[in-house]
């Protein structure tokens, strides 16, 4: 088992990183949330890793935080969710939002993630609702960006921004700034419109 890889970041894209460890380049698939936190190419980096062994391949998946890695491995315990699907789910929403959506049975938010249909969304809720409580600090506490994520309007806005190409952290920051400009009552359309001004 390869628990982590530490070396020089040789290259990165929106889906993977190559880390040079003493002249050997390790290609590691990573979620969007980890990509945004990688250093510049040429700098030292360490990624926690999960090695997935298949009959015809060995694939490394990498994560900046322990929570992301643990959640990735938890997602793969769900029937029908493989490593690529798990990575896609992590890339489709921030971790706090995923935990809350599963706990609250927010199928609409989960279905807003590309590649997650009605059946997969329902399985995530049914099979993981009790298990995600172990993600202390994510499950019941505040959100990293201070968003009222139990608010359906905010959830729908985050999903809309994701569909428009925003990364999870970018979407959260845009919505947070937009909320400061809007009155206490607002519609999804008004929130999306205001958030789009922030990019």
pLDDT digits (tens, 9 = 90+) for 67-90: 889 999 999 999 989 999 999 999
Exposed, middle or buried: residue 112 (CB in 10 Å: 0-12, 13-18, 19+)?
buried
Place of tokens 């290609």: 27
Place of tokens 């990624």: 47
Residues contacting residue 1 through CB under 8 Å, at least 6 positions apart: 51
CATH code of domain 66-142: 1.10.150.20
Interval 88-102: pLDDT, tens: 999 888 888 888 889
Cα separation, 154 vs 104, in Å, equals 15
pTM for this structure?
0.66
Looking at domain 4-64, which CATH architecture does it have? Answer: Beta Barrel (2.40)
pLDDT reported for residue 168: 75
C-beta separation of 110 from 122 below 8 A: no
C-beta separation of 2 from 33 below 8 A: no
Could you tell me the residue ranges of all domains in the chain? 4-64, 66-142, 144-199
CA dihedral 122, 123, 126, 131 (to 10 degrees): -130
Looking at domain 144-199, which CATH architecture does it have? Answer: Orthogonal Bundle (1.10)
User: Residue 52's beta-bridge partner residues?
Assistant: 59
């Amino acid at each position: 088992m390869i628990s982590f890889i530490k070396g020089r970041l040789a290259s990165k894209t929106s889906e993977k990183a190559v880390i040079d460890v003493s002249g050997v380049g390790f290609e590691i698939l990573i979620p969007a949330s980890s990509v945004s936190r990688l250093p510049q190419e040429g700098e030292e980096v360490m990624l926690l890793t999960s090695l997935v062994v298949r009959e015809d391949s060995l694939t490394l998946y990498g994560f900046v935080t322990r929570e992301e890695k643990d959640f990735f491995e938890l997602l793969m315990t769900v029937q029908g969710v493989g490593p690529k699907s798990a990575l896609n789910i992590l890339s489709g929403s921030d971790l706090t939002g995923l935990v809350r959506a599963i706990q609250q049975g927010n199928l609409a938010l989960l279905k807003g993630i590309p590649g997650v249909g009605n059946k997969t969304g329902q399985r995530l809720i049914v099979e993981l609702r009790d298990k995600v409580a172990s993600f202390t600090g994510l499950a019941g506490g505040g959100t990293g960006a201070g968003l009222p994520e139990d608010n359906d309007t905010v959830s729908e806005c985050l999903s809309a921004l994701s569909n428009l190409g925003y990364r999870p952290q970018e979407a959260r920051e845009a919505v947070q700034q937009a909320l400061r400009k809007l009155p206490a009552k607002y519609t999804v359309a008004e929130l999306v419109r205001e958030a789009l001004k922030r990019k």
